[in-house]
């Protein structure tokens, strides 16, 4: 059996890039959700404060 090291290296590089991209996208999505909740919470507080007066 012959192993093509260059092809194997290329394939592993592609897998690594895909995993890193997946991890970064998950982190960005989580951060966007956190910021969105924070803004929504702030808006809700402002609206509730406005309703009190």
What is the tens place of the pLDDT at every residue in 14-29? 999 999 999 999 999 9
The pLDDT of 23-48, averaged and rounded, is 76
Q: How many CA atoms lie within 13 A of 36 on its CB side?
A: 6
Q: Tell me the whole-structure pTM to 2 decimals.
A: 0.61
Mean of all residue pLDDT scores within the chain: 81
């Amino acid at each position: 059996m012959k192993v093509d090291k260059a092809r194997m290296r290329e394939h592993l590089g592609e897998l690594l890039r895909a995993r890193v991209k997946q991890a970064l996208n998950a982190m960005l999505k989580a951060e966007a959700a956190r910021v969105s909740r924070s803004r929504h919470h702030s808006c809700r507080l402002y609206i509730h404060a406005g309703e009190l007066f």
